Amino acid sequence: MGWYLARQRLAKREKFPLIVELEPLFQCNLTCSGCGKIQHPDHVLNRRMPVEQAVAAIEESGAPMVSIAGGEPLIHPEIHTITAELLRRKKFVYLCTNALLLERKISKFKPSPYFAWAIHIDGLRERHDESVEREGVFDKAVAAIGVAKERGFRVSTNTTFFTHDSPKTVREVLDFLNDDLGVDEMMISPAYAYEKAPDQEHFLGVSQTRKLFSEAFAGGRRKKWRLNHSPLFLDFLEGKAEFGCTAWGIPSYSVFGWQRPCYLMSDGYAASYRELVETTDWSSYGRGKDPRCANCMAHCGYEPTAVLQTTKSVKQSLRALAG
């Protein structure tokens, strides 16, 4: 990533993607009430992005990393081919999954230093099953993590927090993933208040998010967890740092095209990353600018700002390297 950022600077490119959120389908085998992706009509849910289209979009963007999400990517019949083609091009790939199909599909994938599963775990058993609205999903996800690790895969997790969470539940799930399951790295996020999500009551506001994370991270806990975020982004979640959104840094490409302005909001689509960058009024998005951004502290908007600020500061770079 450091080398990629240096190359962008040398080329004097002002806007470039750090990671692309690739959504090759919107269909899922779960119906979580906080989800803003599965409300499309059936003819959209039935669409599958062809391999060539997915690979061409990533190549055009030049992004070094790809997070494949959806919907549930493992429903896509060619997801292993999309993944393999991206790995062949030396892209780092995170495959985000609820893990229900992982054991059935794992033989189609090969371990690689460029590849990691990113398994959705929103809490311990009761909390996770409540979040995904189906009993038994937590146990299946935990079993799938074991199988993936046994087969030599790198395994990360992705945990979204809502108002039902407390500092205690945040600590419990991160301790479990870090210490008991030994996953390689963990990603965390406050849930974004999708307008389409059926459950509108449990999205965290900014002050609630800061309180939740500052209390959960207290007592030096933050350092012991293998969190896959820059220290500056974690400071931001805790309320120790404040900065604007850089939505062009983690853009989203789906069956509709490049989504404007980000993975979370859709103000239309562009045919290429270049077109997205050049035809979007980026200054009109972010907290204090667009009411839909008011409670957003999501990774896709604020981690790019944190990463770009980190690379401009020797002190922050040393902190990031120290982990």
Please select the residue that binds ligand SF4; options are 174, 293, 306, 320, rule is CB under 6 A. Answer: 293
Please select the residue that binds ligand SF4; options are 261, 306, 310, 316, rule is CB under 6 A. Answer: 261
DSSP helix/strand/coil, 232: helix
The nearest distance, CB 272 to ligand SF4, in angstroms, is 19
Q: Which residue is nearest to ligand SF4 (CB)?
A: 301
> Which of these segments, 2-10, 13-21, 55-63, 280-288, binds ligand SF4 (CB under 6 A)?
280-288
- Virtual CA dihedral for 241, 238, 16, 284, nearest 10 degrees? -70
Question: Rounded to whole angstroms, how far apart are CA atoms 217 and 285?
Answer: 29
Residues in 46-105 that interact with ligand SF4 by CB under 6 A: 70-72, 98
Residue 18 touches ligand SF4, criterion: CB under 6 A = no
Please select the residue that binds ligand SF4; options are 170, 197, 285, 305, rule is CB under 6 A. Answer: 285
> Which of these segments, 24-32, 59-67, 108-116, 234-242, binds ligand SF4 (CB under 6 A)?
24-32
The secondary structure of residue 323, as a DSSP letter, is: -
Do 8 and 62 touch, CB atoms closer than 8 A?
A: no
> Which of these segments, 8-16, 170-178, 195-203, 292-300, binds ligand SF4 (CB under 6 A)?
292-300
Do 23 and 70 touch, CB atoms closer than 8 A?
A: yes
List the structure tokens of 55: 């690979």
Nearer to ligand SF4, 14 or 150 (CB): 14
Residues in 183-222 that interact with ligand SF4 by CB under 6 A: none
DSSP secondary structure string for all residues of 282-305: GGG-STTT-GGGTT---HHHHHHH
Convert residues 26-45 into a mask of x (bound to ligand SF4 by CB under 6 A) and - (unbound).
--x-xxx--x-xx-------
Q: Is 10 buried (19+), middle (13-18) or exposed (0-12) by CB count in 10 A?
A: exposed
The nearest distance, CB 37 to ligand SF4, in angstroms, is 5
List the structure tokens of 125: 């058993």
Please select the residue that binds ligand SF4; options are 87, 204, 227, 300, rule is CB under 6 A. Answer: 300
List the structure tokens of 46: 């039935």
Residue 196: how many other CB atoms lie within 10 Å: 12
Residue in the block written with tokens 């389908």: 25
Binding site for ligand SF4 (CB under 6 A): 28, 30-32, 35, 37-38, 70-72, 98, 120, 132, 245, 247, 261-262, 264-265, 285-287, 293, 296, 298, 300-301
